[in-house]
Amino acid sequence: MQMRMRPSTNIESLPEELLYDILLELPAEDIYKGARLVCKKWYKMICNPKFVYAHFHNSTPGLIVECRFDSTRPVTFVATRRGRIEVSKFNFEFRGVVWGSCNGLIVETVYDGISTHYITNPATDQRFDLPREEPDDSYSVMLFCYGGCADDIFSKKYKAVSMCCSTYNGSKIWSCAVLTVGVDKSWRNLLTEHLSVSEPLTTEGFVHWPHNEGEGAYVFTLNVETEIFTVTPVPQGCGGERLTYYLPTGKSLSLIVFCNDFSFEIRIFNEAHNRAQYAFDKSEEKKSSVGHRLRPPPPSAAGDGPKVEHCSYSDIRKKFK
Amino acid sequence: MAAETGTPTTLTLKSNDDELFSVAESAAILSVTIRNMVEDGCAGGVIPLDNVDGKTLASVITYMNGISAIPADEEKKKSYRDKFLSDKDFETLADMVLAANYLNMSCLMDAVSAKIAQVMEKKSVGWVRRKFGIENDYTPEEEAAVKEEHKWTFEGVETDDDN
């Protein structure tokens, strides 16, 4: 019988693609503090943009929590790892207020008479200064990633959207400014008249301003990539006296309408709807009028109107888990 | 060895050190490599697996039998995998990742890769080099430069004199 003697298997004798898979499983802090310093071969593998991208998509999503009213409290990162909620201290000195994040990049704003915005990568301690804002002060800044194909990180572009408030003839006017990161030298002002003072809600690639005034309720939406605004009426029966609540749920915006103590109606603005330029459509109101709570949306409405989903309480838990 | 007989179809696998193993076809086809052979009708006799030794193959077959006995319940499968890998030393894990790659068993490969990565978690550079016998090919200047490149922001990585 032929016995094949071979040296014991070690991490060095593994083919490169298997080592790659193993390193991908390491948390980012271990890669930066440990793995990339081990040897040049590991360093080369780790610093490849493809690895960075693959690792990013393999990483744990979580929330950055900052207490704006008490700067002595540390910024924390909350995530679920291995089925448990973990709260870790974010040992990074933010210069200003953390406004939002996208793909691990964070927008912060320092206010010293005029707003200055930065895009920060806390993982690499790199900062990118955004041009200073001309209008009085900005109310919030959001960061979006758009375009490009999923596999090519270099084709992706970032846009920052800022909500600012200017004083005009003694009254405050809200406006919205957009900046393509790395391309625009200054902020570009967009339409102003429909913006409300309410905190904008963001979903992937979209900013929404809900206007919830009785039966004429509507949602004003900005498609960040195309910079087109759309107005979507909230179906009749969802506004008015009934308690409603908007919730950004990742890709889409959901409207939760409380029917009674144990029942909610959930309406979801789907992506296809958001992509199309959408005018105020009276017929949509008819389709979704009161009394149709248990009726599924007609197939024809799926592409051009808000997708209506009905859920019991347990369904909601499943949906937003 | 770890033979499971009496099932409708059994396959015979041969390791590279000529050990023979019989395994239920339903369990063996977790390996895409073996499944393709079965589908192509070339699994009739003895299936030689030239890249896997007997010790590793016995382990892999234990895993195949164990995991295929669990109904479609991801939670239970995961806890089986964790338990299965918990007492394996590093060398065994490295052999298993090679075998899983050769046999094209993605579920085992992912689990073993994660387990190996777990060994490195929160360990210092020196520990990783010593543990895996990796030679430091940086000059002190180069190493200092790489360290300066990005200052990481998390706390909690142990220092060099740890376990």
- Complex confidence, ipTM: 0.80
Q: What is the pLDDT of residue A9?
A: 64
Distance of alpha carbon B162 from alpha carbon B125, whole angstroms: 11
In this structure, the number of other CB atoms found within 10 A of the CB of residue B20 comes to 13
Of residues A107 and A29, more confidently modeled: A107
* pLDDT at position A290 over 50: no
Q: Which residue of A has its CA nearest to B53?
A: A4
Question: How do residues A231-252 score in pLDDT, each as one tens digit?
Answer: 777 776 665 566 778 888 777 7
Encoded tokens for A92 = 């990074």
Split at pLDDT 50, 70, 90, the class of B72 is confident
Torsion of CA B107, B110, B112, B118, to 10 degrees: -140
Q: Which one of A13, A26, A90 has the shortest CB-CB distance to B120?
A: A26
Ranked by mean pLDDT, the top range of A170-179, A265-274, A276-285, B101-110 is: B101-110
User: Could you give the CA distance from residue B6 to residue B25 in angstroms, rounded to a whole number?
Assistant: 12
pLDDT-derived band at B104, boundaries 50, 70, 90: very high
Residue range A84-104, pLDDT digits in tens: 888 888 777 777 788 877 777
* Residue from the list A11, A26, A32 with its beta carbon closest to the beta carbon of B152: A32
Residues of B with Cβ-Cβ distance to A18 under 8 angstroms: 97-98, 101, 113
Inter-chain contact B132–A10, Cβ cutoff 8 Å? yes
CA distance B75 to B83: 12
On the question of pLDDT at A71 being above 80, the answer is no
Cβ partners under 8 Å of residue A209, min gap 6: A194, A195, A196, A198, A200, A201, A219, A220, A221
Q: What is the pLDDT of residue B102?
A: 93
B132/A12 touch (CB, cutoff 8 Å), yes or no: yes
Give the position of tokens 């959930």.
A266
- Mutation pick from A4, A13, A18 vs chain B, by most beta carbons of B within 10 Å, is A18
Residues of A in contact with B129 (CB under 8 A): 38-39
Q: Write the residue in B133, B138, B151 that is nearest to A10 by C-beta.
A: B133
Question: Cα torsion at A131, A135, A136, A139 (round to 10°)?
Answer: -70
Cβ-Cβ contacts under 8 Å, B50 against chain A:
none
The residue ranges of every structural domain in chain A are 11-57, 61-91, 95-193, 230-321
Residue A306, pLDDT > 60, answer: no
pLDDT at residue B112 tops 90: yes
Judge contact between A215 and A198, C-beta under 8 A.
no
More confident position, B72 or A18: A18
Q: What is the pTM of this model?
A: 0.58
Q: Which letter, b or e, does each residue of A97-112 get, where b requires 16 or more Cβ atoms within 10 Å of its Cβ?
A: bbbbbbeebbbbbeee
Nearest to A254 by CA among A244, A243, A242, A241: A244
Mean pLDDT across A279-299: 31
Contact B155, A89 (CB under 8 A): yes
The pLDDT value recorded for residue B74 is 78
pLDDT at B162 > cutoff 50: no
List beta partners, residue A183: none
Amino acid at B41: G
CA-based nearest residue to A255, from A291, A302, A289, A208? A208
At A82, the pLDDT band (50, 70, 90 cuts) reads low
Assess whether pLDDT exceeds 80 at residue B20.
Answer: yes
pLDDT in tens, A152-174: 555 567 888 887 776 666 666 77
DSSP per residue, A7-69: PPP-GGGS-HHHHHHHHHTS-HHHIIIIIHHH-HHHHHHHHSHHHHHHHHHHSPPEEEE--TT
**In this predicted structure, what is the pLDDT of residue B151?**
46
What's the pLDDT at A312?
Answer: 34
Chain A residues whose beta carbon lies within 8 Å of the beta carbon of residue B18: 1-2
Q: For residue A237, what are the CA distances in angstroms to A217, A220, A233, A243, B58?
A: 10, 18, 11, 11, 65
Q: State mean pLDDT over A179-196.
A: 74
Q: What is the pLDDT of residues A117-164, one digit of tens each?
A: 888 877 666 677 888 765 555 667 787 776 654 445 555 678 888 877
CB distance from B150 to chain A under 8 Å? yes
Q: Is the Cβ of A27 closer than 8 Å to some Cβ of chain B?
A: yes
Helix spans in chain A (H): 16-24, 28-30, 36-38, 40-47, 49-58, 271-275, 282-287, 313-319
CA distance B128 to chain A (A): 7
CATH of B10-120, one of 3.30.360.10, 3.30.710.10, 3.40.50.150, 1.10.540.10: 3.30.710.10
pLDDT in tens, B137-151: 889 888 888 877 654
Q: Given A15, A39, A125, which is nearest B134 (Cβ)?
A: A39
pLDDT of amino acid A134: 56
Task: Select from A9, A35, A125 the Cβ nearest to the Cβ of B95.
Answer: A9
Q: Answer yes or no: is pLDDT of A265 > 70.
A: yes
Would you state the pLDDT for residue A267?
A: 77
% of residues, chain A, pLDDT over 70? 64
CA A84 to chain B, closest CA, distance in angstroms equals 14
Domain ranges of chain B: 10-120
- For helices A40-47 and A16-24, give the axis angle rounded to 10 degrees: 70
Q: What is the pLDDT of residue B6?
A: 45
Residue B49 has pLDDT above 80, yes or no: yes
Q: In sequence order, what are the beta bridge partners of B46?
A: B12
Percent of chain A with pLDDT over 90: 1
Q: Output the CA torsion sign for A68, A72, A77, A83.
A: negative
Q: A30 touching B, CB under 8 A?
A: yes
Report whether A237 contacts A289 (CB < 8 A): yes
A126: nearest CA partner in chain B:
B150
Conformational region of residue A68, where left means phi above 0, alpha means psi within -120 to 50, and beta covers everything else: alpha
- The DSSP symbol for B46 reads E
Structure-derived torsion over alpha carbons of residues B42, B47, B51, B57, reported in degrees to the nearest 10: 130
pLDDT band at A1 (very low <50, low <70, confident <90, very high): very low
List, in order, residues 6 or more apart from A152 with CB less than 8 Å away.
none
Q: Is the pLDDT of residue A316 over 70?
A: no
As a whole number, the mean pLDDT across chain B is 82
Mean pLDDT calculated for residue range A270-299 = 35
Q: In which band, very low, low, confident or very high, does the pLDDT at A30 lie, cut at 50, 70 and 90?
A: confident
